[in-house]
Amino acid sequence: MKDLMRLRSLLGTEVEALLNNQIKMEAYNSSVYLAMASWCDRNGFDYSADHFYKQAEDEREHMLRFFKYVSDMGGTAVSPSVDGIPQEFESFREVFESALELEVKTTQAINNIADKCYKEKDHVTVEFLNWFHKEQREEEYVARRCLELFEVIGEEGTGRWEIDKAIPSVSYGNE
Ligand SMILES: [Fe+2]
Ligand SMILES: [Fe+2]
């Protein structure tokens, strides 16, 4: 019976720790996007604010996916505390630069978990992570496209106003 206790969790200790880090990262991302929505709202970029509110919701959903997975696998899902959320941004453009940076870091973190899973032969978690690899491909695509609008449209004159208006039309594969 004692041996059964060790089978309580299907997750290795290190994979479980990485997944808990990811729960924290997704919660952090959600809060950063909320701060970006607030910044856009108070600076008159309504469409971008809506975009970031939606991103904040998506990140919370990601957080919950990881959270429920750890729990379902018999691990201990740790409810995340987040701090150090930037509330101010230098410019409209910097908000979108930071968003892309956030997504690139997230992709790297998820790749890092997958590397560990391959090493540990944890194919179950590898399969779980596949959804996130595809999601990150879309998230990075959208973040890059949004940032490209600053080059394509330009910030002069009514440029920023035009960029803001174009944000809702950015989507992955026009889905
Ligand atoms: Fe995410
Ligand atoms: Fe994301």
Annotated binding site: 26, 59, 62, 103, 136
Domain count, the chain: 1
DSSP track, 102-131: HHHHHHHHHHHHHHHHHHHT-HHHHHHHHH
pLDDT > 60? residue 93: yes
Higher-confidence residue of 173 and 67: namely 67
Q: How confident is the model at residue 36 (pLDDT cuts 50, 70, 90)?
A: very high
| Domain annotation covers residue 123 | yes
> Where would I find the H helices in the chain?
2-6, 13-42, 46-72, 92-120, 123-152, 159-166
The pLDDT value recorded for residue 9 is 72
Residue 44 lies in a domain: yes
The rounded distance, in Å, linking the Cα atoms of 73 and 15 is: 11
Residue 160 has pLDDT above 70, yes or no: yes
pLDDT (0 to 100) of residue 124: 96
Cα 57 to averaged position of ligand 2 atoms, centre (Å) = 10
Residue 115 sits at the vertex; the CA angle it makes with 112 and 116, to the nearest 5 degrees, is: 90
Mean pLDDT to the nearest integer, 80-101: 98
Ligand 1 mean position to 115 CA, how many Å?
A: 18
Domain that holds residue 30: 4-77+86-169
User: What's the burial of 15, exposed, middle or buried (CB within 10 Å: 0-12/13-18/19+)?
Assistant: buried
Average pLDDT value over all residues in the chain: 95
Q: How far is the CA of 117 from the centre of ligand 1 (A)?
A: 19
Task: Tell me whether residue 114 is in a domain.
Answer: yes
Identify whether 174 is part of a domain.
no
pLDDT given for residue 27 in this prediction: 98
Question: From ligand 1's centre to the CA of 161, what distance in Å?
Answer: 28
**Residue 175 is assigned to a structural domain of this protein:** no
**Closest listed residue to residue 69, CA positions, set 77, 60, 61:** 77
Instruction: Give the CATH number of the domain where residue 97 resides.
Output: 1.20.1260.10
- CA gap 139, 144 in Å, rounded: 9
d(CA 93, CA 111): 28
Confidence bin at 6 (pLDDT 50/70/90): low
Mean pLDDT in residue range 132-152: 97
Structure tokens at 175: 């889905």
Ligand 1 centre and the CA of 1: distance in Å?
39
**Binding-site residues for Fe cation:** 26, 59, 62, 103, 136
Tell me, what's the pLDDT at 10?
80
Q: How confident is the model at residue 3 (pLDDT cuts 50, 70, 90)?
A: low
User: Which is more confident, 3 or 70?
Assistant: 70
